Structure 1
Amino acid sequence: MVARTTSQNVDDAAAAWVAREDRGALSTADQAALDAWLHADPRHPGAFLRARAISLRSEAASALGEDFDPTRFTSPGRPRLQQIGASRRELTAWGGGLAACVAVAAGVSLTLTAPTAHATVRGQMRLVPLPDGSTVLLNTASRITVRYSETRRLVRLVEGEADFTVLSDQSRPFVVQVGDRQVETADGGGFRLRKLGGAPIDLLVHQGVVQVGRAQTGRGTVLGSDTRITLAEAQSGAGDSSPRHVSPGVINRELAWRDGKIAFEGESLDQAASAFRRYSDVRIIIADPTLAREPVTGLFSANDPVGFGRAVADLFGAPVRVEPDRVVVGMPQAGA
């Protein structure tokens, strides 16, 4: 069995790539090697973001000098909506655009006196640098609030989906609350949380170890890397699913949205059409019930429902009609 690369190895490699970038522009070969490394393991992008954030915050602190007091530039009061981060197109370029959006973290105070809100609308994706160098990547139509204190780093996922890359801080655990459930880690790592409508909370841990419990009672079940579980809120009357190990392939599919993609592995066309509704106002209508039950596998651009509809129509020999607000795919009529 091939030994799995440790988290420390991943962090060391990420730091080395950041250091290489800091020495000057990468050559074409080096940029290709960096891109290959970023896509080789689902832990690599998060580790790279952490290393870049730490580097930029260190540079900014040095430039501002020892007398700089960030609290002078923060004003207590009502929560404010900030739209910090990069577009999906920018996120695919792991160079200057990424550094620019992470650099915003340098000017944020380490102590927030009021929660700060961050949100995306349908079709958007946003990278949110947090005060300690951790990051949150928000998927489409998602919203969080952030409140850091001397003893706790608290994030609330109000709705949608977010991928968290957390730096270790034993004195201040990192806590994400979703409804009456919470996920906590002090050791750092990476995990994805999803809460859509009335569906159960979906947790995927892809790096490190977290503890899952109720917001009122705190810590509970310990989950390691490459683990997935669905969490039920108390009001639902249901129980949590059993934790299950997931393969790197499943993790890559579940996190494909970080690259602006939707990955399917045997879902029905009807389910695929529903998945696209999260990302676009253009609806995909599978007109024929038989066609709607057909399975689909592949990687598709999340913001291109028209392209998906045409690809499906071509694959199954079905007619397709594109209208301003919808794409209608249906099986050919008998005798046509």
Structure 2
Amino acid sequence: MAERDTSRDIDQAASEWTARLDRGPLSPEQAAAHRAWLDSDPRAKGAMLRAQALSMMSESAQALGDDFDPATFAQPRLPRFSRRQALAWTGAAAAAASLAALGVTSAAAGTVVSTERGEIRLVPLKDGSTVLLNTDSRIRVRYDKDQRVVVLLKGEAYFSAARDEKRPFVVEVNGRRLRTTQAGFRVRKLDEAPVDLLVNLGRVDVSAAPLIGSAKIIAVTSNTRLSLSDPAHISTERPLSIPPQIVTRELAWREGKLAFEGQTLGEAAAQFARYSDTHIQIRDAELAREPVTGLFAANDPVGFSRAIARVFDARLEHGSDTVVLTRPNAAQTAAQ
């Protein structure tokens, strides 16, 4: 009985196949061997996607010069924002200048900051806190002597709240108040989906807005997420502890990346649609259900689709604003 390859063996083979593909088209014999290897183990396709994603990022990074190190692109790096770092970088005057340069708008209810599709924007606040806005997002900032309030109007944001025992940092979203004295946490508000809170540093206390009348407070601590339902159902909500590696994957967008670990190709295509006007269409229901693993540039749906086409033996057609993936001889059913 043949000994089963280890995960390291499979990753090494994937790297070697990626290098061969980068050198040029495979011969018919090599292509057959590559297909046989992909079908030999359920881990092979995921390893191939990871290797190709790393190769694409490495090629882009080499333009930075001779000091390029591909190993630094193997995992998403998570920036840590401390109060001292933020103050050293901005100061109150620099923060105000940065906001002006970003083209934000001011109103009596506070200062509004937004991003367009594909943009990721760091917003320094005057107390040393920062907000990192993801694609197509909008916030309103309102500070006074008693509290620091940021309203998430839409999209996704990562908040790094600097410590201030006298003035709590509050995020308001959909009739809920997320309160902390110091924490790092992500809040996501997308159409037709529950608001999602993910805390990776510190503690955030979740309550209903004062007008709702509920006095219940839910404490959400590091490496914990909470799906926020209607405020009237706050009594049924329960925080969920998640492994650190999933936290890392969820926050990969802060580095302009999308990280997948077993999500379907259809789900991955929906994620890319948030970051680019070029949409991925999958006209084969079976292909749309294939699991995807790897780290990819969020603004490169074409590069992602090329990797998918190679690994899953699919055909790629690139239009002006679409990338269509199909399988040869597959029924052309529009499974959007």
Q: State the TM-score, normalizing by the size of structure 1.
A: 0.69
Task: Return closer, same or farther for 1:277/1:239 CA change in 2, 3 Å cut-off.
Answer: farther
1:300 Cα deviation after fit: 0.7
1:229 Cα deviation after fit: 1.0
Deviations 1:176-226 (A, max 9, x none): 00110121002x110000000121010000000110011125771111111
Out of 137, 140, 143, the position equivalent to 1:142 is 137
What is the SS of the residue equivalent to 1:47? Answer: coil
The aligned amino acid for 2:169 is F
Task: Say if 2:258 is the partner of 1:276.
Answer: no
What is the SS of the residue equivalent to 2:81? Answer: helix
Task: Return closer, same or farther for 1:83/1:238 CA change in 2, 3 Å cut-off.
Answer: farther
1:231 Cα deviation after fit: 0.4
The aligned amino acid for 1:210 is V
What is the SS of the residue equivalent to 1:177? Answer: strand
Task: Return closer, same or farther for 1:59/1:146 CA change in 2, 3 Å cut-off.
Answer: closer
Deviations 1:30-56 (A, max 9, x none): x99xx89x966x4xx2335x4322224
What is the rounded CA distance, in whole Å, between the counterparts of 2:100 and 2:152 in structure 1? 15
Task: Say if 2:157 is the partner of 1:162.
Answer: yes
**% identical equivalent positions:** 47
8 Å contact kept, 1:227–1:246: yes
What is the SS of the residue equivalent to 2:207? Answer: strand
1:109 corresponds in structure 2 to none
What is the rounded CA distance, in whole Å, between the counterparts of 1:280 and 1:173 in structure 2? 36
What is the rounded CA distance, in whole Å, between the counterparts of 1:221 and 1:238 in structure 2? 9
Out of 196, 201, 206, the position equivalent to 1:207 is 201
1:191 corresponds in structure 2 to 185
1:243 Cα deviation after fit: 1.0
What is the rounded CA distance, in whole Å, between the counterparts of 1:219 and 1:173 in structure 2? 18
The aligned amino acid for 2:271 is A
The aligned amino acid for 2:312 is F
1:233 corresponds in structure 2 to 230
What is the rounded CA distance, in whole Å, between the counterparts of 2:132 and 2:279 in structure 1? 25
Deviations 1:71-118 (A, max 9, x none): xx99xxxxxx85639xxxxxxxxxxxxxxxxxxxxxxxxxx9750000
1:241 Cα deviation after fit: 4.3
What is the rounded CA distance, in whole Å, between the counterparts of 1:123 and 1:223 in structure 2? 30
Task: Return closer, same or farther for 1:153/1:196 CA change in 2, 3 Å cut-off.
Answer: same
What is the rounded CA distance, in whole Å, between the counterparts of 2:285 and 2:175 in structure 1? 38
What is the rounded CA distance, in whole Å, between the counterparts of 1:202 and 1:305 in structure 2? 25
1:265 Cα deviation after fit: 1.0
Which structure: larger Rg? 2
Out of 267, 283, 287, the position equivalent to 1:287 is 283
Out of 320, 324, 332, the position equivalent to 1:324 is 320
Alignment of 1:34-73 (within 5 A): 42=78, 45-47=79-81, 50-57=83-90
What is the rounded CA distance, in whole Å, between the counterparts of 1:272 and 1:54 in structure 2? 37
What is the SS of the residue equivalent to 1:311? Answer: helix
What is the SS of the residue equivalent to 1:168? Answer: coil
Task: Return closer, same or farther for 1:219/1:55 CA change in 2, 3 Å cut-off.
Answer: farther
What is the rounded CA distance, in whole Å, between the counterparts of 1:83 and 1:120 in structure 2? 13
Out of 281, 292, 299, the position equivalent to 1:303 is 299
8 Å contact kept, 2:199–2:225: yes
2:249 corresponds in structure 1 to 253
8 Å contact kept, 1:229–1:240: no
1:103 corresponds in structure 2 to none
What is the SS of the residue equivalent to 1:209? Answer: strand
1:178 corresponds in structure 2 to 173
1:120 Cα deviation after fit: 0.2
What is the SS of the residue equivalent to 1:184? Answer: strand
RMSD (Å) for aligned C-alpha atoms: 3.1
Greater shift, 325-334 or 164-173, is seen at: 325-334
Alignment of 1:11-30 (within 5 A): none
8 Å contact kept, 2:76–2:255: no
Task: Say if 2:116 is the partner of 1:117.
Answer: no
What is the rounded CA distance, in whole Å, between the counterparts of 1:331 and 1:57 in structure 2? 52
What is the rounded CA distance, in whole Å, between the counterparts of 2:92 and 2:229 in structure 1? 43
1:247 Cα deviation after fit: 1.5
The aligned amino acid for 2:113 is H
Q: State the TM-score, normalizing by the size of structure 2.
A: 0.69
What is the rounded CA distance, in whole Å, between the counterparts of 2:244 and 2:259 in structure 1? 14
The aligned amino acid for 1:225 is S
Q: Which has the higher contact order (CA 8 A, sep 6+)?
A: 2
Task: Return closer, same or farther for 1:123/1:238 CA change in 2, 3 Å cut-off.
Answer: same
What is the rounded CA distance, in whole Å, between the counterparts of 2:141 and 2:101 in structure 1? 13
Deviations 1:147-183 (A, max 9, x none): 0000010000000000000111111000000110121
